[in-house]
Structure 1
Amino acid sequence: MNLQRLSGIMSIHYRNKVLWLYVPGGVLLGNFIVNYVVSRLTGSVEIYTGGLASVFVCLFIGGILTAAQTFPFALGFSVRRTDYYKGTLLMFAGVSVLTALLILLFSLLEVWTGDWGSSLHFFHLPYLSDGSVFEQFVIFLSLLLYNLSAGFGIGSFQRRFGGKGTFILMAALFLMITVTAFLCTANGWWSAIFAWIAGHTAVQLALWLFPFTLIFAAASYFLLRRAST
């Protein structure tokens, strides 16, 4: 493994500060400010918000755009596909670890400040923040890696099969989800599904995401090997 080549790939990604810093940071900060203002206006009313999910959505989109924006650029400089793939995964790992640590830090700060002095629960949420500090870190890390790898898998699929192939994939997934939801409703499976989820802790469910993360990562490798520039 040539560390110099991999660091070069990571540098290509990190130069895009808009995608990896300004957009997720700005969206998360904007969500927090809006919810904080609302919490101050409502007085002592407890507010539980899902604004934290915005950072996971941003990184999911970032994973999709990564293959579209940097794969042709890297190959244009005669970068090997394997090196591009490995460097990208290392970049994803670095972004996920750093973001998970920041979320955990703000979660602890939220507890320390007494929910920001306004009964706002933004970073430290019931169920998601249950368990030890290490378990909370694992939860955030797992979610971040999953969203990045899933997005990268979709982006790699688009590089391999183009826009028409991606449209067919999305339509097939939508149809599959629709049929599954219909079957769950028709057969009364939702209560059993929710009971199964409630019977597991957040960290246990987060650990289940790692195999899917590896599947997406492996699929991206094989797709990029045959993708056109």
Structure 2
Amino acid sequence: MQRYFITGTDTDTGKTLIASALLARARRDGLTTLGLKPVASGCENTGVGLRNADALSLMAHTFPATDYATINPFAFEPAIAPHLAAQRAGCDLGLERLEGALAPALAEPRDLILVEGAGGWRVPLNPEENLAELASRLDLPVVLVVGLKLGCLNHAQLTAEAIQADGLELAGWVGNLLDPGFAVDDTLYQANLAHLTRVIPAPCLGVVPRLTEASPIERAGKAADYLHLPRID
């Protein structure tokens, strides 16, 4: 069984797309999967409770299937920073409570379990704790999603350094093209990818182009074509 924490260089880097695609890739290889989104803000109020689009994508690529509350135990409606959404909801969003909520799922005998963070590496949970500390407490190797756009070289190197400074293994990184203009000049694009390969001390698991498929599930399936999994024993 392999377990990884998925983080990004910033918010909206495509963490969910890449996490879902890695789960889809694992399913092609006949592996069992579980995608977890411990904390999600920006949820929709539905007839069956709050639902988050990112968590639903992970749920769609989880096999065998499990219930929504297992995948996303802390869901908040406002599309704001999770610690502020939790405050508004009167919820104690602390590391001990998060770890306890995830423990049963992480103990399941799945071949691949991915825990997706929120925003970037240092997203706060409360005034004293942040989500990076959850990855540390769970001792999870990290997969870094680099949103390929102007500024990503700095963001990627700083995030990789922070992950290592926290004593965690950086298991790999994925480039996800956010700005099509970033790849217009192929010579510069390849030079940027080469630089990322040099400064990120972990293998590249793939580079995903800008995808136009209509649904998140379709995009994840297509993105899986460009990825390979971190090591699976």
TM-score between both structures, scaled by the size of structure 1: 0.25
TM-score between both structures, scaled by the size of structure 2: 0.25
Question: 1 or 2, which has the higher strand percentage?
Answer: 2
Question: 1 or 2, which has the higher helix percentage?
Answer: 1
